[in-house]
Chain A
Amino acid sequence: AQKITQTQPGMFVQEKEAVTLDCTYDTSDQSYGLFWYKQPSSGEMIFLIYQGSYDEQNATEGRYSLNFQKARKSANLVISASQLGDSAMYFCAMRVNTNAGKSTFGDGTTLTVKP
């Protein structure tokens, strides 16, 4: 069975500073993908970044980077230069290569960016 754990229910960050959102995962599959999604108060789910289990380099997408530590089974999201519009719920998710990509989400972290 797959499991995603996000231990920070809420986080605060000052505008223009960097913030790290934690995610640990558990799976017995060797082949899997890790995703981060943003869910603003409007409710839509927005894809941010992806890391494959065999990718040797950490993924980056603009101000988002994923700190992937395979041995520790962690996939933390780093947001640099926070903006007020980054205030939202952030979900870590995993898909494994078996079961045609069964998808598991964590319970999320609410990020609040302070001006």
Chain B
Amino acid sequence: EAGVAQSPRYKIIEKRQSVAFWCNPISGHATLYWYQQILGQGPKLLIQFQNNGVVDDSQLPKDRFSAERLKGVDSTLKIQPAKLEDSAVYLCASSFFGGQGGEQFFGPGTRLTVL
């Protein structure tokens, strides 16, 4: 079974530029998560999709971040314009279903550096 795929693995941009990350979850997984992990901290949930609907985006900085999950499969996360404090690893995860149970499977992450 293929795991969660993310691209790119690394990205370096200058502040005020835009960037997009792509995630392909495990086939059949209805729930998809985007996390931001700043160095030395735990992952912070940015947005959670159930199929192609958003179930939680309370911690997404909506003035600069956007995300979509077309057709309930792939997802993209965009930052426009980027700030220095957006430097972090962006993790995508998926699970078979939402709710309390079921482990999340994580992708390898995208390491973003904003100069």
Contacts and interface: CB of A to CB of B under 8 A. Distances in A.
Contacts, number: 75
Contacts of B91: 45
B112 to A, nearest CB: 13
A101 B41 contact: no
Contact of A103 (B48, B50, B108): B48
Q: 10 nearest interchain CB pairs?
A: A100-B98, A105-B42, A45-B106, A101-B98, A33-B100, A100-B55, A47-B103, A97-B100, A101-B99, A107-B42
B108 A101 contact: no
Interface residues of B, number: 30
Contacts of A33: 100-102
B14 interface: no
A47 B104 contact: yes
A101 B109 contact: no
A96 to B, nearest CB: 6
